[in-house]
Amino acid sequence: MRGQGGRRGLAEAAPLLALLLLLAALEGASSHPVQRPVVGDLGGSVSLQVSVPPGTEVARIEWDFQPGSGQALVIAEFTPGQWERPNPEDRFGPRLEKADETTLRIQALAKEDSGVYTAHVRYRTAEVQEHVFLLQVSDPDSPALTLWKHAPAS
């Protein structure tokens, strides 16, 4: 009889377990990094800057790029006083640069540069923070934008 009571207790605990799992999932969802939209003109440049709280020491910043539905690729790594390109022959080539200790600059923007850029900031305290940038490269000379720019003001 004791075994049946154990099964019944488990069955009664199932809804509580499901509720706890749902609450944990919701809590995790609220901790997702803020996604910042960035618009750049075709052929121009953009700077993606990470904000670091005053008094914190950054050990390393790893920059990832994810085009559309493709796989994320590590495109740059910053450490204090240095910067490294894991694959300098990638599609960005010499168009990427470290503007300062927390800023990645992309020059000569191409449409294919549109996508998600994530900075994984690792602090000396071992804390990791993510900053997500949604880059959309637009063509300022496209007919749709030209019509919009010259539309009469209402």
153 belongs to a structural domain: no
69 — pLDDT class (breaks 50, 70, 90):
confident
| 77, 48: one domain | yes
| 69, 120: one domain | yes
22 — pLDDT class (breaks 50, 70, 90):
very low
Give one DSSP letter per residue of 66-98, joined into a string.
E-TTS--EEEEEEETTEEE-S-TTSTTGGGEEE
98 belongs to a structural domain: yes
| 28, 39: one domain | no
Query: Each residue of 90-141: pLDDT tens digit?
Result: 999 999 999 999 999 999 999 999 999 999 999 999 999 999 999 999 988 7
Alpha helix (H) residue ranges in the chain: 2-30, 143-149
CATH number for position 95: 2.60.40.10
148 belongs to a structural domain: no
Residue-number span of the structural domain to which 4 is assigned: 1-32
53 belongs to a structural domain: yes
154 belongs to a structural domain: no
151 belongs to a structural domain: no
Residue 80 carries which side chain, given as an amino acid letter? Answer: P
pLDDT of residue 82: 93
144 — pLDDT class (breaks 50, 70, 90):
low
Q: Is the confidence at residue 76, as pLDDT, over 80?
A: yes
| 45, 86: one domain | yes
Quote the number of domains for the chain: 2
8 belongs to a structural domain: yes
